[in-house]
Every structure is written in C-alpha cells, then in structure tokens.
Amino acid sequence: MNALCHSNHSLGIPVQISVYEDRLYIVNSGCLPENWTIDNLMTKHASKPFNPNIAHVFYLAGFIESWGRGIEKICTACQEDGIPLPEYTINPGDIMIKFTAPEDRIVVSPTSKVGEKVGEKVGETISEVELQILSLLREDPAYTYAAIAEKAQLSQKTIYMKVKALKEKGIMERVGSDTKDYWNINENK
C-alpha cells in the first residue's frame, strides 16, 4: 500500500514485486521529496504521498491509520515477526525495498509445537507467530480474532494477517455458520 501511495503512476510502470526463496523486493517508480534522504524516511516525518487521492482512499477504507507512518509500520511489523528491518535503495527513477528472510524459517507441520524446529528449509515456511496461533486454536478452535490477539499479546491486525497467511497456505480454514463457527486445522499439510 505504501508503494501504491508513493509511486509515480503517470509513467505507466506498475509497482514491481520480486519474490525469491530468501528475500523479497518491492520497487516503485518515483523519487523522494526534494532534499530528503533515507535517514529522513527512517525517522518521524510528514507524509508527502505522490498520490494523495490514493492515500486518502486507503485511509477512508481503514487500510492506513494516518499519513506519514507507512515505513514506521513496515519496520514495526518486521520487528513483531522477528525478521530483519528492510533495506532501502534510492535510485534516480525508483525506490526499492528489500525484505530478507531470517535463516531460521523452516518447513514445519501444523502439529509442531511453538518454537519446535522440524524439517528442512524448503517450500513454504511458517513463522513463530503462526505456530503460536495454531497452538492457541488447538486449545480452543472457537477462538475469535480478538481472543487470539489477547492471548498472543499481539494486535488484532497482526493476527488477522497471520491467519490469512495460514489460510492461503491451506493450513487452516473457518468452518460452520456465522453463530457456531470454528477453526479447522489441516493436520496433513
């Protein structure tokens, strides 16, 4: 979302995402505001989105809390997930951000205990937070996002994002009606 708010869409170049086994790059066309450096980005600063209308729509939709906190929120999310802070490269016509996966990300079964290291580093990985969520849902499959967040001592937004990732990996799904639903963990994944 940060890349969409700050990209120069008039150039017709989409936000580019490159995914590798151990890293992820996001590149958007555009440049920093005049006289800004990477140091400015990493400290509290006023927001100057290249696309204020897109930023405003994201704000109204509840996807962003306020302007000027995008990088702060990215870094906080990395810290909460235990991954290195992103690296920024400022080029004349684009800005690139690199996320590096930590060495300890490994393939595990959803039946693993939190922190247990199983398997080898290939294919899909599962994070420590995701393992914690699975452990809590084995305790009570009827837990809500709010209950999981409270027990894990994390924000509901973080829990929502991690549950979404687990669902996308096919590890869990929501089953039942609106009033009697529960989480089903696919123990064969």
**Cβ atoms of residues 25 and 15 within 8 Å:** no
What is the pLDDT, as a whole number, of residue 104? 63
Q: Residue 44: count other Cβ atoms within 10 Å of its Cβ.
A: 8
pLDDT tens track for 114-173: 443 333 333 457 788 888 898 888 888 888 889 999 998 888 888 998 999 888 888 888
- Tell me the three state secondary structure of residue 53: helix
- What number is the average pLDDT over the span 3-13? 82
pTM for this entry: 0.51
Instruction: Give the model confidence (pLDDT) of 55-102 as tens digits.
Output: 888 888 888 876 667 888 888 888 888 888 899 898 888 889 999 887
What ranges do the domains of the chain cover? Answer: 2-100, 104-189
CATH 1.10.10.10 fits 104-189, yes or no: yes
Instruction: State the pLDDT confidence band at 178, using cuts at 50, 70 and 90.
Output: low
Tens-digit pLDDT profile for residues 36-59: 788 877 777 777 778 888 888 888
Orientation angle between helical segments 128-139 and 156-168, nearest 10 degrees: 90
The fold of 2-100 is: Heat Shock Protein 90 (3.30.565)
How far apart, in whole angstroms, are the C-alpha atoms of residue 52 and residue 90?
21
